Structure 1
Amino acid sequence: MFQGSMVALVTPMMADGQLDWEGLHKLVDFHLEKGTHAIVAVGTTGESATLDVDEHLQVIKKVVDQVNGRIPVIAGTGANSTSEAIELTQSAKDAGADACLSVTPYYNKPTQEGLFLHHQAIAKAVALPQMLYNVPGRTGVDMTPETIARLSAVDNIFGVKEATGEMDRVEWLMANTPDDFIIVSGDDPTAVELMLLGGKGNISVTANVAPAEIARMCELAIAGKADEARALNQKLVPVHNAMFVESNPIPVKWAVAEMGLTQAGLRLPLTPLSEIYHQQVRDALKGAGLL
């Protein structure tokens, strides 16, 4: 159920930072039409850090209602407070999400035992499938493969989004977790290699602007068609790179606006894409046939 291209969906905003519901509707339609396999609503790319709780849940509910079961919807419900993460996860379940994406607690830097107990508590409290999310570059804490393997035995925890881009970790996890525990990429440049090792998909920033291409790339990689998957990925490398010239989601929100899909609004402390990068991002989109 959860595999392939899973877009880390941006949350459209107007110039004043208010949520752009019309833009959100347009984006969801865009992904349904272009073959995206699942939508991740209100993750890091969806600016979860600057949405209040009501907005967070409204976005999840609107995406769920519009998708209407056609593809899975995974709700970002992570927090650095276990009780808050449980509350968000329960609310996502009530809204009809198919699963949740739970990032490692950030800033307070828990121990590995703290990470284990945090995710276990969420899984025990809410009967919603949970995907772990390890992204030490943003959270300041790295969930080790050994801790992930421990959590893979917990009911309701079905997979991990591994965003380190380290293939030795992926190989270890493949060998030390149950066969039905899925591993997906959270790093666009290395996603093909992860899937060729047996990973089941990519939670992708690039899919916001290249949904059909990322979906096809994932299908090829999961099928083991290495040469074709790598060739398609090579064409997208400039786009992958352009999406991170400044902190995500600054470049990708500018890009989807440049494509005419949404407005380019952000909320402080994020700021609009610096003008020095406009041409690089525009050229990357044009080079991949996206503009």
Structure 2
Amino acid sequence: MSIQWNGVMPAVTTKFTSDDKLDFNMFEVNMKAQLDAGVSGIILGGTLGEASTLLEEEKRELVKHTVSLTDGKVPVIMNIAEQTTKGAILAANKAEQDGAKGLMMLPPMRYKASDHETVAYYSDVARNTSLPIMVYNNPVDYKIEVTLDMFEELLKFDNIQAVKESTRDISNVTRMINRFGDRLKILSGVDTLALESLLMGSDGWVSGLVCAFPAETVAIYKLAKAGRIDEALKIYRWFLPLLELDINSLLVQNIKLAEVATGIGTENVRAPRLPLHGTERERVLAIIEEGLRTRPTLPNLSAN
């Protein structure tokens, strides 16, 4: 299965039981909601997936189970967030063996690599996997920016194909299109800039709040791409207070609480994370409850 690198690709949460095991029953409920809404890929093992807390065997089990659940309907993409080049290559190879069809890949973790080191890191992984790669470019959170000059070198590899663009600089979309055209597919990685990014020419949206609101997220994407901007804006303006729950250090807990409210998740997180409590929990619940109270009726997406 080739990856088109467009549409809405949820960075899904990992579901846990109350006794801290993988909860594949609730995961299946969420996957059905995502697929029914029309997402174009499933991304595992990101920040929302609590990958840093998952055991190696759990990651592999998660990939295999998701491949089985999706049954070829959409590609399964595994995030690579490793401290060493050797570890990244090994993780990429395991993901491929387990049935993943693509990789989302962060720069080296914990070590602030230079531009040269970062290019070498991505290049070495690209040489050692046949899977297509989406570079996760998030200098705000991970302190390393993959610049346009660095992409110029990386795009010599046919399997480096896309970027999850999370610089927060919306004009970077235009810079990338001007420089690389269709050679580099661009997916917005910031929920609160997603519509703006799509209107500037991004191919897709790697979303967080889609985990709780898949139909609304896909509707915004489809309406924007169909030129039905006013309809997309109406939903997006309703959605923004919820989308802001994603640009927060407690994004995992926030989004899992939203999944509970929409009936497609649980609050269970893995320690040291803990569910929200106190005034912060009440604040987030109020945002979610207002979103549910004012939830829009979605337009006919097949209408001309």
For normalisation by structure 2, the TM-score amounts to 0.89
Shift of the 177–63 alpha-carbon distance from structure 1 to 2, 3 Å rule, reads: same
Aligned residue for 1:27, secondary structure, equals: helix
Note if 1:117 corresponds to 2:132. no
Note if 1:44 corresponds to 2:50. no
In structure 2, the residue matched to 1:10 is 13
Distance 1:20 1:97 in 2: 20
Note if 1:285 corresponds to 2:291. yes
Greater CA deviation, 122-131 or 163-172? 163-172
CA contact (8 A) 1:238 1:284 kept: no
Letter of the 1:176 partner, please give it. Answer: R
Note if 1:58 corresponds to 2:64. no
Distance 1:91 1:285 in 2: 40
Distance 1:219 1:60 in 2: 28
In structure 2, the residue matched to 1:149 is 152
Letter of the 2:267 partner, please give it. Answer: A
In structure 2, the residue matched to 1:264 is 267
Shift of the 247–149 alpha-carbon distance from structure 1 to 2, 3 Å rule, reads: farther
In structure 2, the residue matched to 1:129 is 132
Match of 1:242 among 231, 245, 259: 245
The ranges of structure 1 where at least 4 consecutive aligned residues each deviate by more than 4 angstroms after the TM superposition are: none
* CA-CA distance at 1:126 after TM superposition: 0.5
Shift of the 218–245 alpha-carbon distance from structure 1 to 2, 3 Å rule, reads: same
Distance 1:129 1:71 in 2: 14
What aligned pairs does 1:51-90 form with structure 2 within 5 A after superposition?
A: 51-90=54-93
Letter of the 2:62 partner, please give it. Answer: V
Distance 2:200 2:247 in 1: 25
Note if 1:185 corresponds to 2:188. yes
Letter of the 2:242 partner, please give it. Answer: V
Letter of the 1:216 partner, please give it. Answer: A
Shift of the 69–165 alpha-carbon distance from structure 1 to 2, 3 Å rule, reads: same
In structure 1, the residue matched to 2:228 is 225
Shift of the 237–122 alpha-carbon distance from structure 1 to 2, 3 Å rule, reads: same
CA contact (8 A) 1:78 1:105 kept: yes
Q: Deviations over 1:44-92 (max 9, x none)?
A: 1111111011111111111111101111221112312111111111111
Aligned residues with identical type, % of pairs: 27
* CA-CA distance at 1:178 after TM superposition: 4.2
* CA-CA distance at 1:206 after TM superposition: 1.0
CA contact (8 A) 1:14 1:264 kept: no
* CA-CA distance at 1:27 after TM superposition: 1.2
Q: Deviations over 1:195-250 (max 9, x none)?
A: 11111111000101110111111112233433332222111101112344542212
What 5-or-longer segments of structure 1 have no aligned partner? none
* CA-CA distance at 1:285 after TM superposition: 3.5
The Cα RMSD (Å) is 1.8
* CA-CA distance at 1:24 after TM superposition: 1.2
Letter of the 1:183 partner, please give it. Answer: I
Greater CA deviation, 224-233 or 53-62? 224-233
CA contact (8 A) 2:135 2:164 kept: yes
Note if 1:160 corresponds to 2:163. yes
CA contact (8 A) 1:106 1:140 kept: no
In structure 1, the residue matched to 2:35 is 32
For normalisation by structure 1, the TM-score amounts to 0.93
Distance 2:165 2:39 in 1: 20
CA contact (8 A) 2:213 2:262 kept: no
